[in-house]
């Protein structure tokens, strides 16, 4: 039970956590915080929060648990602002998509990462933003990664773990650097490919015609390019080493693929495509997959050549 929860950044991620904990009957009062009064009024109207402040220092007063769910570039100034206003036993956790930068933010602001600061990342989301997009089931059957440090208080870690489990999530622990590398591959790279593709097509002379003849498969493939540009700018900058590296490696792969195609090496192409199809069918659509939601019907969702 959390008596008072402060959510800094009441958008998709923060709003959904608030809704899920409320639905589970596990929270007394929820205090919201953000920059815009209008957004916060909306969160109040929707019953996501009970009251709000636009000042993080004020929002965290008396809170047992503080959840940071702003874009990554706002984490450091937020920590600086709440420093000195937290209760002694308050636990602080976050939902940022990159963990190295958040840990570094905490280190810079507090001199060291506070023992009761638990860095976290729910592997769940949609391409939509803001409190209106939030819903209590977002974390159900999704994975949440926590990246505790050697100095992290085990009791704080347990509390944060329990909180995510209340929302229906499956929690794993991971090393900070490893998290950022894995996510660069599975999440940041795909988003950049989608953004990059749509942008490249939009800049072509015949862009109108190009989008007109884009088929259903294109729609699924590029859905993630409708995600929040600010959030993705922050993720790329925060994880720039791993992401830059991953992109460069992938560009090499593409040149290799182009070469295989230009040579007309059908056998090699067949091998690559068959291996990829097998991996996807096995891991992503197969019985082993956990975190991918069941919202998208596996059949008939359109693709096309």
Ligand X SMILES: NC(=O)c1ccc[n+]([C@@H]2O[C@H](COP(=O)([O-])OP(=O)(O)OC[C@H]3O[C@@H](n4cnc5c(N)ncnc54)[C@H](OP(=O)(O)O)[C@@H]3O)[C@@H](O)[C@H]2O)c1
What are the C-alpha distances in Å from 10 to residues 14, 38, 266? 5, 12, 51
Q: How far is CA 196 from the centre of its chain?
A: 19
Cβ atoms < 10 Å from Cβ of 242: 21
Is 210:204 a contact under the CB 8 Å cutoff? yes
- Under the criterion CB under 6 A, does residue 304 sit at the interface with ligand X? yes
Question: What track of x and - describes contact with a second copy for positions 94 through 113 (by CB under 8 A)?
Answer: ---x----------------
- Under the criterion CB under 8 A, does residue 173 sit at the interface with a second copy? no
252/304 with CB nearer ligand X: 304
Cβ atoms < 10 Å from Cβ of 293: 13
Rounded CA separation 51/31 (Å): 5
- Under the criterion CB under 8 A, does residue 51 sit at the interface with a second copy? no
Q: What is the DSSP letter of 114?
A: -
> Looking at beta carbons, which residue is closest to ligand X?
11
Shortest Å, Cβ 268 to ligand X: 19
Rounded CA separation 282/276 (Å): 10
180 token code pair? 């950022």
Binding partner selected for residue 89 from ligand X, a second copy, none, CB under the kind-specific 5 to 8 Å limit = none
Is 161:171 a contact under the CB 8 Å cutoff? yes
Is 76:100 a contact under the CB 8 Å cutoff? no
- Under the criterion CB under 8 A, does residue 25 sit at the interface with a second copy? no
Indicate which single residue of 13, 103, 113, 183 sits in contact with ligand X (rule: CB under 6 A).
13
Question: What track of x and - describes contact with a second copy for positions 235 through 274 (by CB under 8 A)?
Answer: xxx--xx-xxx-xxxxxxxxx-xxx-xx-x-x--xx-xxx
- Under the criterion CB under 8 A, does residue 182 sit at the interface with a second copy? yes
Residues 113-172 that bind ligand X (CB under 6 A): 121-122, 125, 129-130
51 token code pair? 């009251």
219/249 with CB nearer ligand X: 219
* Site for ligand X, rule CB under 6 A: 8-14, 34-36, 39, 69-72, 74, 78, 95-97, 121-122, 125, 129-130, 228, 231, 235, 303-305
């Amino acid at each position: 039970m959390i008596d008072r929860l402060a959510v800094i950044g009441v958008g998709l991620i923060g709003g959904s956590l608030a809704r899920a904990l409320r639905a589970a009957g596990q929270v007394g009062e929820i205090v919201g915080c953000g920059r815009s009064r209008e957004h916060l009024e909306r969160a109040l109207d929707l019953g996501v929060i009970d009251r709000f402040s636009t000042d993080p220092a004020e929002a965290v007063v008396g809170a047992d648990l503080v959840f940071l769910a702003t874009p990554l570039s706002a984490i450091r100034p937020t920590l600086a602002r709440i420093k000195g206003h937290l209760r002694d036993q308050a636990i602080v956790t976050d939902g940022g998509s990159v963990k190295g930068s958040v840990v570094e933010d905490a280190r810079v602001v507090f001199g060291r990462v506070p023992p009761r600061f638990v860095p976290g990342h729910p592997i769940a989301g949609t391409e939509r933003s803001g409190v209106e997009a939030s819903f209590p089931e977002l974390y159900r059957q999704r994975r949440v990664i926590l990246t505790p440090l050697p100095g992290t208080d085990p009791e704080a870690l347990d509390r944060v773990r329990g909180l995510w489990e209340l929302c229906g999530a499956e929690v794993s622990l991971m090393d900070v650097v490893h998290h950022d590398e894995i996510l660069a591959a599975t999440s940041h790279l795909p988003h950049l490919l989608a953004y990059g593709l749509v942008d490249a097509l939009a800049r072509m002379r015949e862009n109108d015609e190009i989008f007109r003849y884009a088929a259903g498969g294109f729609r699924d493939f590029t859905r993630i390019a409708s995600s929040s540009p600010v959030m993705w700018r922050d993720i790329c900058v925060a994880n720039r080493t791993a992401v830059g590296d991953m992109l460069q490696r992938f560009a090499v792969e593409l040149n290799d693929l182009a070469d295989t195609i230009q040579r007309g090496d059908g056998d090699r192409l067949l091998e690559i495509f068959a291996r990829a199809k097998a991996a996807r069918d096995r891991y992503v659509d197969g019985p082993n997959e956990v975190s991918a939601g069941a919202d998208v019907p596996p059949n008939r969702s359109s693709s096309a050549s």
